[in-house]
Amino acid sequence: MEALELISRSPTDELLTHERLKQYIDEGRKLKHYIGYEISGFVHLGSIVTATKIADLQKAGVETTVFLADYHSLINRKLGGDMDTIKRIARGYFREAIGQCIKAVGGDPEKTKYVMGSELYEKKGIDYLDMVLKIGMNTSIARIKRSITIMGRKEGDSGDSAQYLYPLMQAADIFALGVNIAHAGLDQRKAHVIAIEAGEKAAGYKPVALHNHLLMGMHITEEIRQTVLKARKEGNRELFEDTIMDIKMSKSKPNTAIFIHDSAADIASKVNKAYCPANEAELNPVLELARYVLMSNSRVLEIRNAKLGTLKMYSEYSELERDYSSGKIHPADLKESSGKALAGLLEPARRYFIDGSGKKYLEEMQSIKVTR
């Protein structure tokens, strides 16, 4: 499979722009990627989706980097806003958890560089403040205010002035790292647009922005579902981006987020309680789980029909969706089979953190008792 196809395929939702990426490939440029993570609560399935994209990028010959955004976490008051705790968890639990996600989906954690934000900013030869200022001088205050949503906050939410530095820093990170593929979920789009629009003047080039699909939480309701469908139908990007925070899987809602070290029983319980409307494929959290986690990278999903006692193997998501939409698959059967498949996929990560060498990192994280 060619590099462009690997980078573009699901769970990629958007490339800004496809043409620029093709140009960079055709010119033979060395492709360098990064994805940034705030250091906060336990790692959940959303990071499995981003790790799937990291694995694709590695197969495409792209140099991959995980950015441990400790200063961004401080600004967003994660882990109680304690910088020492943030750094300790970044180097321990968080780095190990992201590595386990990459490994679970067929990527190689050893081929991924890990960079701490605070270490990058202090690195010789990088004038980070200069980069932040150049981007700020080419970005309006109104755009920065609109971009606060990248922090998981809605536009207009009250906060402190440090939050206005966050989008500028996120854009500056791209250029300070010297990468040309900036990767994140679709909720980070506004920061990437700032980097693209200011990039030429601030750093001499425009990066490619790769946005992967945001996995829905198990908590979505029919009311929320209809709001998102309406925003999509009307092409209302602002409404759609606002509702992303309401529907995406979030560690701040632990009963509806599935963590990579959850037990098989916890996984089954969360999936069985999930919203899963019969015959409805669009914005169905359990079908999304199947599509973006269980069946990504050519994995096969086995669905058992409890009433008939039959099994059917699905290698193409389109066939699974078609059978579910037509009523051939009952929601209870989809939940039961998906829960078991997910427990199997996550079992190595669970063993690593519960019984293996990662146990000390999980225990340290658990001792903090901060989910934000």
Q: Which two tokens stand for residue 126?
A: 């990088």
pLDDT digits (tens, 9 = 90+) for 215-244: 988 877 788 778 877 877 777 666 666 666
- Sheet strands (E) in the chain: 12-16, 33-38, 64-69, 112-116, 181-185, 208-212, 301-305, 310-314
Read off the pLDDT band of 149 (50, 70, 90): confident
Please tell me whether residue 326 adopts helix, strand or coil conformation. Answer: coil
Q: Find out whether 105 and 296 touch, Cβ atoms under 8 Å.
A: yes
- Give me the pLDDT at residue 254, please: 67
Start-to-end Cα distance in the chain: 39
Q: Which two tokens stand for residue 20?
A: 């620029």
Crossing angle (nearest 10°) for helices 331-354 and 359-368: 100
Q: Which DSSP string do the residues of 327-357 spell out, in sequence order?
A: TSS-HHHHHHHHHHHHHHHHHHHHHHHHTST
Q: Which domains does the chain have, with CATH numbers?
A: 3-212 (3.40.50.620), 222-367 (1.10.240.10)
pLDDT digits (tens, 9 = 90+) for 314-352: 999 999 999 999 999 999 999 999 999 999 999 999 999
113 or 154: which leads in pLDDT? 113
- Give me the pLDDT at residue 251, please: 72
Kindly report whether the peptide bond that precedes residue 11 is cis, defined as omega within 30 degrees of 0. Answer: yes
Question: Would you say residue 155 has pLDDT above 70?
Answer: no
**CA dist 226 → 38, 184, 311, 317 (Å):** 30, 25, 33, 23
pLDDT digits (tens, 9 = 90+) for 49-93: 999 999 999 999 999 999 999 999 999 999 999 999 999 999 999
pLDDT digits (tens, 9 = 90+) for 157-192: 657 899 999 999 999 999 999 999 999 998 899 999
Q: Find out whether 46 and 214 touch, Cβ atoms under 8 Å.
A: yes
Whose structure tokens read 């994209």? 53
Mode of pairing for the β-strands spanning 208-212 and 181-185: parallel
Q: Which two tokens stand for residue 268?
A: 């089954």
